[in-house]
Each structure stands twice: as structure tokens, then as C-alpha cells.
Amino acid sequence: MFKAGAAPRIVLATLNARYIHASLGLRYLLANLDQHGGPGLRALTQLREYTISRPAQEVVADLLATLGETNGAVQIIGFGVYIWNVTQTLAVLHLLKAARPDIKVVLGGPEVSHETTQQPITTLADFVITGWGDVSFAKLCRALIHGPQPLMKIIAGEQPNLADINLPYGEYSETDLAHRLLYVEASRGCPFKCEFCLSSLDKTAWAFELDRVLAALEVLYQRGARNFKFVDRTFNLKVEHSVRILQFFLDHLPAAGAPANEQLFLHFEVIPDHLPERLKAMLRQFPPGVLQLEVGVQSFNAEVQHTISRRQDNAASEANLRWLLTHSHAHLHADLIFGLPGETLYSFADGFDRLLAIGPHEIQLGVLKRLRGAPVARHSDEHGMVYDPEPPYTVLHTGVVDASTVQRFTRLVRYWDLLANSGRFAQTLVLLLQTPPAADVIGALGGTEAEQAAAQTSPFWRFWLLSDWLWQRLGSTHKLTPELLVDTLFAYLSQSLPPESVRQALLADYLGSGARANPQVLQGLLPRQAPAAAKAARTLAARQERHQTQS
């Protein structure tokens, strides 16, 4: 039996990408310590979350201050390790083990659950739990503190029945509710086998008992939670559950005119080719600004889909996306992945143009990453896949895409996010995507004849050449102010279009974005202050608001 109220002997820690994120996995471990490790164990534990931008020295100093002096007692730090924080966590472990080699370090998370013995970070750890940690971490802590001592360094996580796992939502603090995204889930796993995803290793999907989930959501709502991000890999997989969850939130919609802090914001990941009528009937009832759907299209190339074991009805996906845009107020993020085995730049461009023609509010472009353990690695030899050996293991080149093209695409992704996904350049973006580059621009860029010809008809190729031009002119994809972008886009478009029409589009976008400086090309056209609507305080859905204003 553990003594409640004693000084902490266990710290659960992770380095989040940003403060707004809150670790769901660590809160599961906290919530299950007493049940699976013994009464009082939770009272000996503290949660410490940092960001990847925090210096390693500061993280270590805070961890050691949290634990205090050892006084001969076993002390444990458990780290959640992911692809986005493994490099920073490794730096923390180097310093931590140098200062206090006696502290038992336990690692868990997807990054260390595969290829475990091949990683520098695992050599510094005392124990590594692979896979599910809800039960195994608690049992390991009990053994380390109370005995008998564990014999194995690598521990395969025990996968219990979901009914035996305590839900973690009571571990969200009042500060979390007020300032952070709240991650929730109604299921785990995925029945699909898309080889770029670790969920392809799951045999199926497992659903939590829905009444338990809804009861926990009710408690969160009564505590003031209004921002829910579901991490289910396929929210619309089991429609009966999806409908009940959506009905729960429909029943909790705030009254018209409610203050901003009472507005609901819901995020779900959905597969694009499964949208039965019952689900449509629920989705169309939500007002603007509430629903955000992340739709994984990834590729429209049927041959590539077959290669990576992705089952997707492209026609149904396209029809469902169009339905959502026409008949619902959901904000749609559609995902495409560049660099998949066998996907050429030209076939990707075709898929991009097809998706763009449908008109989702945002197209999220990503470059393929070889997640540790993901089956996509089996294509490396046949398809000439070469990945960066350092996290996040981005593809460097493939058999059909050379390294220079990957680099150019990576720059395009950043420019696309700045100009398209941000919602700040809606009117200007139309001009950019509809206008072939001027002859002088093409000549200066030195693009291939095929690229130049494609740019006469293809929005993708027009943006591709624009991206090259921006890089040539700016030499950077970061720290680009709205004012610099306005002036630069004016210089680009005015080579092909009447300068005054370009100026008016940029003026409308600049005013609508709420920016308040003074770009050179808009001198004398801006009011002293931006319009009140543009100045109004925005919530987490600011980017979404800009897109909705345009639609």
C-alpha cells in the first residue's frame, strides 16, 4: 500500500509541440495508476508538460526540482516520446542521466514502440514500454517502488479490454479547459491498412462503451469545456456511435448570441468515402463555426493506393466532399501526401487539381514520413525510397521524384499554407491560381518545357512556378510578414495582369485579414485603423472564420 500525501516519486513528462496541446496519453497513465498499480500510487505522481522549444537545461532543472531529494527512495520519470519530440527528449535524457543516473527513466509512445533497440534514446532509458501503456506503466511503477524488481528492459505493453481502462478526462485541469485543446476519443485502432500509418498495424478498431464516453463528455462540458478534438482515426467508421456523439453536441449547442467563450468547436477525422444518410442528416444540423472535419484523401492515384494497401472509392470520396461543402457548414481540411511510392510529381499535380476543383476550405499538403514500424518501409528497394535518417524521417527522394523536386515541393507547402490555408489572401489566391505566369517569369525561372506548358491550364503548376519565383526572390519560407507578401505578390501578378486590379484584390485581402501596417503598394489606400469586424477578437477558429467569410 502506498502512502498518500507523500512527496512525488513519479513524474510523467512530455514535450508537446506547442502549449495549446495537452497530452492525452499521459493523462491516461495518471488515471490508471491506482487501479492497475495499487492504491495511493496516483498521489505520488505529478504531471509535467513542456514544449519542444523549451531549453533542455530548463526542463531538467524543473524535473529535478519537482522530484526533490531522493532520500534513498526510488524515483521515476516516464517520458512520452513521439516523432516530433524525440530529438529534444534525447537532449533532456543526456542531461538528466548525467545529473541523476539513479532516477529510473521509462520511455513510452509510438516513436519508441518499434525498432526499439536501434535508437540512441532507448540506450539511455532504464525501461521502455512498447504499445499500450495504460496498464503496464502502473504495474512497472509498482514493481520499481514496491518490488519484485522487473527483469526486462523492453516491456511489451499489455492491451486490456477498454472497459478496464479508466477514462482520463478528470485529469484535465481548469487551466487546460480554459486555454488548451482537449483531446478525447471514442475508439482506438483502425481496421484499414494504409501503410504510411502506424494504425495499419492494428487488427481492428476498438470502441469504448459509448455511455461512458458521453457521461465523461457531459462532465467536461459542465466544467466549461467547449473545445473538443477527437483523435479517433476514423470517426465515421461506426455510424451508430458517430450519430449519438453528434446528437450529444447538438443537444449542447449554445443559444444564439451566446458569448464567444460558450461557442462549441469540434474536430473529427473522417474517411471520405463513407457518409451514409443518417450521418449526413446530423452533420447538416450544425451551424457555421462548430464542426471541423479532417478528411484524409492522401492520393487520388488508384495505382498508388493499391501499392500502399489503401482502400478508397475515389468517386464516392469526391461526391461526399462536394455534399459536405454544399449541404453542411463543416469546415473541411482535406489531406494530400507527396512522395508516396510510385507517385510522380505529375500524378500528384493531377490529384491536387482534382481536389482543388472540389473546393475544400483547406488543402493540407504533407511530405511522406517513414514512421518507425510503418509497413511503407517494405517499398524502399522496389520504389527507390530514401528517407532522412533523422526525425521526422521525411522522404528525401524516390524512384520517380528526385531530391531537388522534393525540396521544391517542401517550399511550396510552406507558401501554400501562407497564401491559401491561412485564408488571408482569398481574392489574390484566385488570381494566382487562374493566371498563367508571364513569359518573363517563366524565362527567369528556367522551368522545364513540360512545367511551362502545364502551367497554362493547371492551378497546381501555376502555384509550383509561383513557389519557385517566391523562393528566388525572397530566399526564405519563414518570417515573411503580411506586408512583405502583399508587396511581393503585387510584383508577381502585375507582370501578367493590370496592376490596378491586382492592387484592389490585395487591398481587399489585407483589410479583411485584420493586418494593420502599411504595405508599399497600398500606400494611401488604407484607413487609419482596420474595420471593426477585422479587429474583433478571434477564437481558436480564426483561420476557419476567414474561410467562412469567403464562402
> Which domain CATH number covers 146?
3.40.50.280
Examine the fold and report which residue of 164, 198, 213 is the final residue of a domain before the chain moves on.
Answer: 164
The C-alpha angle 478, 481, 483, rounded to 5 degrees, equals 145
Residue 533: predicted pLDDT: 42
> Please, how many CA atoms are within 13 Å of residue 142, restricted to the half-sphere of its CB?
18
> Residues of 107-129 as b/e, b for ≥16 C-beta within 10 angstroms?
bbbbbbbbebeebebbebbbbbb
Asked whether residue 346 is assigned to any structural domain, the reply reads yes
Query: Is residue 110 reached through a cis peptide bond, with omega within 30 degrees of 0 on the bond before it?
Result: no
Give the C-alpha distances (Å, rounded to integers) separating 96 from 15, 91, 403, 448.
15, 9, 38, 53
> How do beta strands 395-397 and 386-387 pair?
antiparallel
**Given its phi and psi angles, is residue 17 left (phi above 0), alpha (psi -120 to 50 degrees) or beta?**
alpha
477 shares a domain with 355 = no
442 shares a domain with 394 = no
Residue 2: predicted pLDDT: 45
Residue 361: predicted pLDDT: 97
Alpha helices in 308-393 (DSSP H): 314-327, 345-358
Of 208, 321, 332, which Cα lies nearest the Cα of 268? Answer: 332
Asked whether residue 1 is assigned to any structural domain, the reply reads no
Residue type, 418: L
Residue identified by cell 463528455 is 217
232 shares a domain with 142 = no
Residues of the chain with pLDDT under 70: 1-7, 529-551
CATH number at residue 301: 3.80.30.20
249 shares a domain with 131 = no
Q: Cell digits for 264?
A: 462549441
> How do beta strands 187-189 and 205-207 pair?
antiparallel
Asked whether residue 3 is assigned to any structural domain, the reply reads no
Q: Cell digits for 293?
A: 472535419
Q: Cell digits for 353?
A: 487539381
The C-alpha angle 147, 151, 154, rounded to 5 degrees, equals 120
Examine the fold and report which residue of 342, 372, 401 is the final residue of a domain before the chain moves on.
Answer: 401
264 shares a domain with 139 = no
Residue 494: predicted pLDDT: 95
351 shares a domain with 203 = yes
Asked whether residue 317 is assigned to any structural domain, the reply reads yes
pLDDT tens-digit map of 16-25? 999 999 999 9
119 shares a domain with 30 = yes
Chain length of the chain: 551
**Alpha-carbon distance 51 to 53, whole Å?**
5
Q: Determine phi and psi for 233, rounding to 5 degrees.
A: -65, -35
Report the predicted TM-score, pTM, of the whole model to 2 decimal places.
0.92
378: containing domain: 181-401
Range list of β-strands (E), 131-283: 154-156, 182-184, 187-189, 205-207, 227-230, 265-270
User: Hey, is 423 helix, strand or coil?
Assistant: coil
Identify whether the C-beta of residue 398 lies closer than 8 Å to the C-beta of residue 341. yes
531 shares a domain with 384 = no
510: DSSP letter: H
Residue 443: predicted pLDDT: 73
537 shares a domain with 478 = yes
Residues 6+ apart with CB under 8 A from 500: none
Domains in the chain, number: 3
Dihedral (CA of 7, 12, 13, 17) sign:
negative
Residue 4: predicted pLDDT: 46
Rg (CA), the chain: 25
223 shares a domain with 142 = no
**Alpha-carbon distance 500 to 385, whole Å?**
47
Asked whether residue 408 is assigned to any structural domain, the reply reads no
127 shares a domain with 186 = no
Asked whether residue 363 is assigned to any structural domain, the reply reads yes
**Alpha-carbon distance 401 to 56, whole Å?**
37
Residues 6+ apart with CB under 8 A from 11: 45, 46, 47, 48, 63, 66, 67, 76, 77, 78
Asked whether residue 55 is assigned to any structural domain, the reply reads yes
541 shares a domain with 463 = yes
**Alpha-carbon distance 427 to 431, whole Å?**
7
Asked whether residue 411 is assigned to any structural domain, the reply reads no
Residue type, 37: G
Examine the fold and report which residue of 132, 164, 196 is the final residue of a domain before the chain moves on.
Answer: 164
Identify whether the C-beta of residue 241 lies closer than 8 Å to the C-beta of residue 207. yes
**Alpha-carbon distance 196 to 504, whole Å?**
44
